[in-house]
Structure formats: structure tokens, C-alpha cells
């Protein structure tokens, strides 16, 4: 319940479970990336790029904290695998728009993710609407804290 006092043991168990979840997520995504023929970083950055219809290399740099040189290398690797393409704008040929190829990305990743998505859907279905809202609130607020920490670390 809201406002209920947590014990040290409860907080310790929560932190341990959270740490185990984070570790398992990293290891799973590294295995998925290897299976897809990508580095784990390229796999995660592709996931981020796929959330947009189009963006610039500068946008990717801002979203990820990568240098422009690192973004260029990332784009080269993903373009070579036909997971995105670079397009010049009509008004300014110097400006390049990055367009993810969702179809090719899904062909590559969907077979790997299908069983995971099925099991995750079954797990979510085992929770009540209220429990799902609480879990979503935790993830949303924890993500904001992590994003703030990332921005602070990158700016120092």
C-alpha cells in the first residue's frame, strides 16, 4: 500500500531482484545480439533507432551520448546489414536523414524474440490491472532516474 513502511529486508530483497533482472537483461540481450550477428551495443542502438520514423546522426548522438564518429561507425555497420538507410534531404544535400528499415529488422529479430514475447505476455497476464500499474510506475520512474544519472555523468 502507498505510504506503507518498508523494512530493510524488503528493500534489500527488492534491490537484489532488481540487480538480478538488470544482469539477466544484459546477458539476454547480448545473446540475442550474437544470434542476430550484431554487437550488443549495435542491437540496443538499433532498438532505439527503430522507435523513430526518421532521425539525423545528431539526433542519435544526443539520444545515446555517442560521439559523432561513433555514430558514423554504428550507422555504417547497420546500413551494411540493410537495417537502415541514409537519405539526403531535398533542401540541403549535406543533411542526412537516417531511416530505419523496420521490415528487415523484424525479419532478423522477430524469430529470436517471438518466444520471449509469448512468455512475457503470459507473465503480464498473471498480474492484476492495479499490479501492472504499480510495476509500470516503478519502471517509468526508475528509467527517469537512470536517464537523469546518464545526462549528469555525460556532462561532467
Cell numbers 555517442 correspond to what residue?
A: 66
What is the predicted pLDDT for the residue at 37?
93
**Pair 113, 32: CB distance under 8 Å:** yes
What is the predicted pLDDT for the residue at 3?
55
* CATH code for the domain defined by 8-125: 1.10.10.10
pLDDT in tens, 66-84: 898 999 999 999 999 999 9
Cell numbers 559523432 correspond to what residue?
A: 68
| 76: Cα within 13 Å, side-chain hemisphere | 6
DSSP 156: -
What is the predicted pLDDT for the residue at 91?
79
Q: Single out the residue of 40, 44, 21 nearest to residue 30, CA to CA.
A: 40
Q: Single out the residue of 65, 34, 68, 64 nearest to residue 52, CA to CA.
A: 64
**Segments of the chain with pLDDT less than 50:** 1
Q: Where along the chain do its domains lie? A: 8-125
pTM across the whole model: 0.76
Amino acid at each position: 500500500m502507498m505510504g506503507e513502511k518498508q523494512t530493510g529486508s524488503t528493500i534489500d530483497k527488492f534491490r537484489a531482484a532488481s540487480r538480478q533482472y538488470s544482469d539477466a537483461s544484459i546477458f539476454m540481450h547480448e545473446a540475442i545480439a550474437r544470434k542476430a550477428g550484431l554487437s550488443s551495443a549495435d542491437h540496443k542502438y538499433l532498438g532505439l533507432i527503430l522507435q523513430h520514423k526518421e532521425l539525423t546522426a545528431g539526433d542519435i548522438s544526443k539520444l545515446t551520448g555517442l560521439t559523432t564518429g561513433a555514430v558514423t561507425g554504428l550507422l555504417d555497420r547497420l546500413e551494411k546489414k540493410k537495417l537502415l538507410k541514409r537519405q539526403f534531404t531535398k533542401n540541403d544535400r549535406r543533411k542526412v536523414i537516417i531511416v530505419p528499415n523496420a521490415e528487415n529488422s523484424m525479419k532478423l529479430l522477430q524469430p529470436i524474440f517471438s518466444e520471449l514475447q509469448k512468455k512475457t505476455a503470459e507473465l503480464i497476464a498473471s498480474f492484476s490491472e492495479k499490479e501492472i500499474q504499480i510495476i509500470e510506475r516503478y519502471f517509468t520512474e526508475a528509467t527517469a532516474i537512470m536517464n537523469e544519472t546518464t545526462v549528469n555523468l555525460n556532462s561532467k
